Amino acid sequence: MDGIVTRETLVKWAPLLVLLVLILFFAVMEPRFISVRNMARIAIASAPALMVAVGVTFIIIMGSIDLSMEGTVSVSAVVFAFAFLAMGGTVLSWAWLALPLALIVGAVIGLINGLVHVRLRIPSFMASLAMGFVGTGFALLLTGGDRIRIEDEVFRGLLTERWFGFPVMCYVALLFLFIAWFIQSRTTLGRNFYAVGGGEELAHASGLNVDRVRVMGFMLAGVFYAVGALLAVGRIGIAETATGNNFMFISITSVVVGGTALWGGIGGVWNTLIGVLIVNVIGNGMVVIGLPGYVQDGVLGLLVITAVVLSTDRKSVSFVK
């Protein structure tokens, strides 16, 4: 019995342990790694990815999967940029309305995603993948392949304004992380995500409207993708079709590496935070100690496999007992 508990605890804390070991490793290899400057660099790279990963965390807790993030991020970013420029081009004018508009666009795409999945009874994996392509295509249609520059000083302040060495966007991400944590642990919606992921039939037999929970989940995820899109635009000052690139791999990898189980019911947004940091620490650390980029991808791939093996074992442990 004791052995199992130890193992469970180990698996639970393994992601954090991995993160600390990685930081230690890179710090020993290259002391500049733990400078505030470099930490800020990691935080900046992590912030948009964290938002997208938090969004998909909810979906994965439900036992579904959402692969539409790249399309959703692109569309939200592009719509935001057009609206922002059209309404004055600075946050101090009516253009600030473009910010909530972007979130609404994210929610609407999530809504469509959820409805297609639930009403047409298409596996979430397929429905969201298809919606992602539609989104990317739509973003390209809107921009015609152009890049849209956002040069508003105030909006770019997300990156340029720094408090304690870290840009504002990191604090924004942190704020939304807390909102996500609140939703996860303190609201009926959050509880419902776990119930659906932990036992869908049972949730249904407890009178939960599982379909509604699903749709709400996809909407919520869409909102977080849009937040990610805004931070991504704030980071480079450009909105384009390619804004969404790479978010699928990064976010799913982060969620899994963080220890949220792909079959649902286990994990949460803190796991995702750790996961995102692990992925970005590896990315940054490899550059800092001078290893080529392709080694990174290999390491990340291995990490995903290790994480899944670890958490799968945990599942069978809880059944054997």
Partner 1 sequence: MYQLNKVDKKFPGVHALKAVDFTIGRGEIVGLVGENGAGKSTLMKVIYGAYQADGGTVTIDGTTVRFQSPRQAMEHGIGMVFQEQSLITNLTVMENIFLGFESQFVKFGIIDWKAMAAAARHQLSKVKLDIDPAMTTANLSFAQRQLVELAKVLTLEERVDGDLVILLDEPTSVLAREEVELLFKLVRELRTRASFIFVSHRMDEVLELSDRIYVMKDGEVVDVVDHDEADIDTIQHKMVGRDIDKEYYREQKQGPYDTNNVLVSFDKVSLAGRYSDISFDLHAGEVLCLVGTEGSGREPILRTIFGLETPTSGTVSLKGQQIRSFNAQTGVSMGVGYIPRERKVEGIVGGMNVYENMTLSQMQNYASGGVLNISRERELARQWIDRLSIKTPSVFKDCGGLSGGNQQKVVLAKWRSAGSDIILLDHPTRGLDIGAKEDVYDMVREMCDDGAGIILVADTLEEAIGLSHTILVLKDGEAQQVFHGQPGDKPSLYDLVHHMT
Interface with partner 1 by CB under 8 A: which residues? 186-189, 191-192, 194-195, 198-199, 201-209, 265-266, 318, 320-321
> Which amino acid type is present at position 202?
L
Closest distance to partner 1 from the beta carbon of 235 (Å): 32
Q: Which is nearer to partner 1, 37 or 201 (CB)?
A: 201
Residue 303: name the closest of 267, 249, 263 by CA.
249
DSSP state of 96: G
Residues 194, 183 contacting (CB under 8 angstroms): no
Closest distance to partner 1 from the beta carbon of 28 (Å): 37
Q: Which is nearer to partner 1, 32 or 186 (CB)?
A: 186
Angle at 48 between CA 46 and CA 53, to 5 degrees: 85
Q: Which is nearer to partner 1, 9 or 246 (CB)?
A: 9
Closest distance to partner 1 from the beta carbon of 316 (Å): 13
Q: What are phi and psi of 162, to 5 degrees?
A: -120, 135
Q: Which is nearer to partner 1, 53 or 203 (CB)?
A: 203
Helix (H, G, I), strand (E, B) or coil at 148: strand
Closest distance to partner 1 from the beta carbon of 198 (Å): 4
Closest distance to partner 1 from the beta carbon of 195 (Å): 6
Q: Which is nearer to partner 1, 4 or 28 (CB)?
A: 4
Q: Tokens 């989104």 identify what position?
A: 135
Please name the residues in contact with 148: beta carbons below 8 A apart, sequence gap of 6 or more. 78, 81, 82, 85, 238, 239, 240
Q: Which is nearer to partner 1, 91 or 221 (CB)?
A: 221
For residue 238, CA distances in Å to 36, 53, 121, 146, 232 come to: 26, 21, 37, 10, 8
Structure token pair of residue 48:
């948009």
Residues 94, 87 contacting (CB under 8 angstroms): yes
Closest distance to partner 1 from the beta carbon of 272 (Å): 17
